[in-house]
Amino acid sequence: MRAGLDDPRQFLLDLFQTAVAAADPHRVLPPCLPHDTNRRAIVIGAGKAAASMASALEKNWAGELSGLVVTPYGHSEPCQYIEVVEAAHPIPDAQGEQAAGRILELVSNRSAADLVICLLSGGGSALLSLPAPGITLADKQSINEQLLHCGATIADINCVRKHLSRIKGGRLAQACFPAQLITYAISDVPGDHPAVIASGPTVADATRSTEALGILHRYDIKVGRHVFEWLQNSDSETLKANDPAFVGSQFHLIATAGQALQAAARAAREAGVEVLLLGDNIEGEARELARVQAAMALARRRDKPGMPPCLILSGGETTIKVTGRGRGGRNTAYLLSLAITLAGAPGIYALAADTDGIDGTQDNAGAVLTPDSWRRARDLGLDAKAMLADNNSYSFFAALDELLVTGPTRTNVNDFRALLLLTGH
């Protein structure tokens, strides 16, 4: 920690960086590798941390490496032996489809003597977009976009993705079999369930095609008749736990939101701050969550006058239903809703950001809220409630020069939210 409580804004920024550093692939991957790395391995993978994980593997593996990983545009990191391909996220594109096809070819027809290492992280589901028979890339693009805008949870989104794919839901493990398969994963999903991370291409999946159909109906997703017909076909089922493809395969979770939040909590406590850690798997609508947490902060200040500095920490992945035409991701939406509820309450600072450095599809990780943000917004003539209704939270914080712009962090353990409560401010 560099900054103290005399600079609350920088204090929160340092906490965020501490959380991100705790999930750095170069820090978390090497201790999880086998003792004997003097083997030839084929490396595949996908996600926002895929290139960084591949680079970390190259630096810590003694044997011969080859293979391919796919990461979003702008998330590459130099690798000497493992090819890095960039593709679109969160809406898949032809680059991702081609990369997924090449990955499937790389691991097919292997023997039991081969070793395949799979590197997975958040974003891998959109990047490994290889449609099932009869399903097109255009189908997947349309369905993804609708699901992302309707407020569906990541578990629901990935359930649909898995059943419309030739590579997700354990099918990549099936292609690798009988080769030895080791998966290293960085989790960006609430609950850290392996079958949800990147839509679980190398693990068993308990969901059913009927559930995917139900999700499409529940959110009124517009799809062609052929999509419904495919999901009613038994071939659309994902691989279950009793499939021989999983015999002997290993799955290692190397970084989670919980670990990142705990690192930030330790740093805050070392600075003399009391920490309330609400959990690393909080879901729900971003604006509603902000109202709840703002009320919690206000109640704590009211009920405990003269309290020591307190930090309210939480992680997870909220959703936001897009109804307006403005710019903004779930973290700036959370903060704007927080600002409206707090209405400039003294001594309360906040930061909300995605640990991957990208809030939704914008160029910022999130933003910072200070006690004078509300006054400054009013002085600028900003209508906070109207901007929130128009999904225009990015523009609100841009006008205040409070956007947090980090660029891609090359890791991803979901959202980081911190409210700092100070007395005497």
Residues 30 and 114 placed together within one structural domain of the fold = yes
* Residue finishing a domain among 200, 221, 255: 255
Q: Within a domain: residue 2?
A: no
Expressed as residue numbers, the domain containing 376 is 8-20+258-421
Q: Within a domain: residue 192?
A: yes
Residues 224 and 209 placed together within one structural domain of the fold = yes
Residues 202 and 154 placed together within one structural domain of the fold = yes
Residues 223 and 278 placed together within one structural domain of the fold = no
Strand partners of residue 118: 44, 183
Regions of the chain with pLDDT less than 50 = 1-2
pLDDT of 423 = 79
Assign residue 249 the CATH number of its domain: 3.40.50.10180
DSSP H or E segment with residue 48: none
Q: Any idea how long the chain is?
A: 425
Residues 241 and 269 placed together within one structural domain of the fold = no
* Residue finishing a domain among 195, 230, 255: 255
For 323, how many CA atoms within 13 A lie in the half-sphere containing its CB? Answer: 9
Residues 137 and 223 placed together within one structural domain of the fold = yes
* Residue finishing a domain among 192, 222, 255: 255
Residues in Cβ contact with 133 at an 8 Å cutoff, skipping those fewer than 6 apart: 166, 230, 235
Helical pair 286-303 and 330-342, crossing angle rounded to 10 deg: 40
pLDDT of 3 = 60
Q: Within a domain: residue 361?
A: yes
pLDDT of 245 = 96
Helical pair 137-149 and 154-163, crossing angle rounded to 10 deg: 170
Residues 249 and 262 placed together within one structural domain of the fold = no
CA dihedral 118, 124, 127, 130 (to 10 degrees): 70
Name the nearest CA neighbour of 358 among 304, 395, 315, 407.
407
Q: Within a domain: residue 181?
A: yes
Residues 232 and 267 placed together within one structural domain of the fold = no
Please count the structural domains in the chain. Answer: 2
Residues 305 and 378 placed together within one structural domain of the fold = yes
Residues 194 and 234 placed together within one structural domain of the fold = yes
Spatial distance between the Cα atoms of 252 and 32, rounded to a whole number of angstroms: 8
Spatial distance between the Cα atoms of 79 and 57, rounded to a whole number of angstroms: 10
Spatial distance between the Cα atoms of 183 and 194, rounded to a whole number of angstroms: 10
pLDDT of 403 = 98
pLDDT of 306 = 74
Residues 251 and 262 placed together within one structural domain of the fold = no
Q: Within a domain: residue 1?
A: no
Spatial distance between the Cα atoms of 160 and 153, rounded to a whole number of angstroms: 11
pLDDT of 1 = 43
Assign residue 335 the CATH number of its domain: 3.40.1480.10
Residues 68 and 213 placed together within one structural domain of the fold = yes
Neighbour-count burial for 5-16, b at 16+ CB within 10 Å, e otherwise? beebeebbbbbb
Residue 301 phi/psi, 5-degree rounding, is -65, -40
* Helix, strand, coil % in the chain, rounded to nearest 5: 40, 20, 45
